[in-house]
């Protein structure tokens, strides 16, 4: 593992007005890793990702990407730098076609040939999207929409991919499929992945390292395997 983290949070505080959602979160993501943040509802998982992307401004602390502070960088510049998020609840563009959704993912790119090639690559990665390329995004099923959201984010050619609850509202078999693809992307493309999940079991199985987030603070940090076998975690998040 290389010494320099590609993404680092140092004592980050943020929130919504008077409500403080993050109270000093620090975490490191090294290149090539799959890092999982697990935690219950309202622990601040999504807020963490939104703060990294600058949709919510950090009140205190630093967000570092590739060694540079990105607190003040506006969200739309991050995909150019190689940082892209798949937001919670997918948020695809419902009245645009699957293809147009993908084209929008490549919005900052100018290489038409590369874009077309990547679209074909996405269709090979997610064959169902290729079949539905002319349909409106809103007419897809939940699992297909999640695949579209991931594919759309991959179109930005990210170095770091932030995934917010990819298992939300999906059937177990589809979830497995999506996690297989996530692992695939990490192994084949070397994309670093920061994964936020409520489904601790799945997330930790896919991840190399994990963080546990509780009411805005990191309470535990360890190798994913170790967390998976930690009796406290098993009790609190895996229902044992």
Partner 1 sequence: MIQEFKKIWKQYAIGMLWLLGLLWPLLGIHPDGTLTFQKTFTVWLYILAGTLVCLFVYVANQGGQLRFITTPVDGVKKSISLFVKPFPRWVWFVVIFVLAVIYPQITGRYATDVAINVLLYICLGLGLNVVVGLAGMLDLGYIAFYGVGAYTYAVLNVTYGVGFWFCLPLAAVFATIAGCIVGYPTLRMRGDYLAIVTLGFGEIVRIVLNNWMELTNGPNGILGVKPVSILIPVFENGFSFEIFWVKKLQFFYYFALALAILVIIGVHRLNYSRIGRAWESIREDETAAELMGVNTFIYKLLAYAMGAFFAGLAGAFFAARMRFVSPESFTFLESAMVLCMVVLGGMGSIPGIMLGVVALIALPEVLRDFESYRMLIFGATMIIMMLFRPAGLIPAQRVGKRSEEKE
12 touches partner 1 by CB under 8 A = no
Site stretch for partner 1 (CB under 8 A), options 21-29, 68-76, 172-180, 205-213: 68-76
130 touches partner 1 by CB under 8 A = no
Q: Two tokens at 230?
A: 């930690």
- Residue closer to partner 1, measured from CB, 79 or 210: 79
- Residue closer to partner 1, measured from CB, 28 or 91: 91
Nearest distance in Å: CB 10, partner 1: 23
Residue whose structure tokens are 């999906």? 170
216 touches partner 1 by CB under 8 A = no
95 touches partner 1 by CB under 8 A = yes
Query: Strand, helix or coil at 32?
Result: coil
In terms of Cβ atoms closer than 10 Å to its own Cβ (0-12, 13-18, 19+), residue 62 is middle
Considering only 74, 124, 176, 219, the residue that binds partner 1 (CB under 8 A) is: 74
Distance of alpha carbon 204 from alpha carbon 192, whole angstroms: 15
142-154 vs 172-189: helix crossing angle, rounded to 10: 10
77 touches partner 1 by CB under 8 A = yes
Considering only 8, 99, 118, 144, the residue that binds partner 1 (CB under 8 A) is: 99
Nearest distance in Å: CB 155, partner 1: 8
On whether the CB atoms of residues 7 and 83 are closer than 8 A, the answer is yes
Q: How many CB atoms sit inside 10 A of residue 20's CB?
A: 16
- Residue closer to partner 1, measured from CB, 55 or 171: 55
Considering only 61, 75, 130, 142, the residue that binds partner 1 (CB under 8 A) is: 75
Site stretch for partner 1 (CB under 8 A), options 14-22, 131-139, 185-193, 196-204: 131-139
82 touches partner 1 by CB under 8 A = no
156 touches partner 1 by CB under 8 A = yes
Q: Which residues contact partner 1 by CB under 8 A? A: 53, 55, 74-80, 84-85, 87, 91-97, 99-100, 103-105, 107-108, 133-134, 136, 152-153, 156
């Amino acid at each position: 593992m290389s010494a320099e983290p590609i993404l680092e949070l140092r004592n980050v505080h943020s929130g919504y007005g008077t409500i403080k959602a993050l109270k000093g979160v620090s975490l490191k993501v090294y290149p090539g890793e799959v890092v999982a943040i697990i935690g219950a509802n309202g622990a601040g998982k999504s807020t963490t990702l939104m703060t990294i992307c600058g949709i919510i401004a950090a009140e205190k602390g630093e967000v570092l990407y590739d060694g540079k502070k990105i607190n003040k960088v506006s969200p739309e510049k991050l995909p150019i730098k190689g940082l892209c998020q798949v937001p919670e609840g997918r948020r695809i563009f419902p009245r645009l076609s699957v293809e147009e959704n993908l084209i929008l993912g490549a919005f900052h790119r100018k290489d038409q040939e590369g874009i077309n090639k990547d679209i074909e690559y996405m269709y090979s990665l997610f064959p169902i999207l290729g079949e539905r390329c002319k349909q409106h995004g809103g007419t897809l099923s939940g699992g297909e929409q999640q695949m579209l959201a991931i594919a759309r984010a991959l179109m930005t050619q990210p170095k770091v991919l932030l995934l917010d609850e990819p298992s939300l509202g999906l059937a177990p078999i589809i979830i497995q499929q999506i996690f297989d693809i996530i692992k695939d992307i990490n192994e084949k493309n070397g994309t670093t992945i920061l994964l936020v999940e409520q489904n601790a079991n799945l997330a930790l199985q896919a991840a190399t390292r994990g963080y546990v987030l509780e009411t805005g603070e990191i309470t535990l940090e360890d190798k994913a395997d170790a967390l998976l076998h930690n009796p406290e975690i098993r009790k609190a998040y895996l229902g044992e």
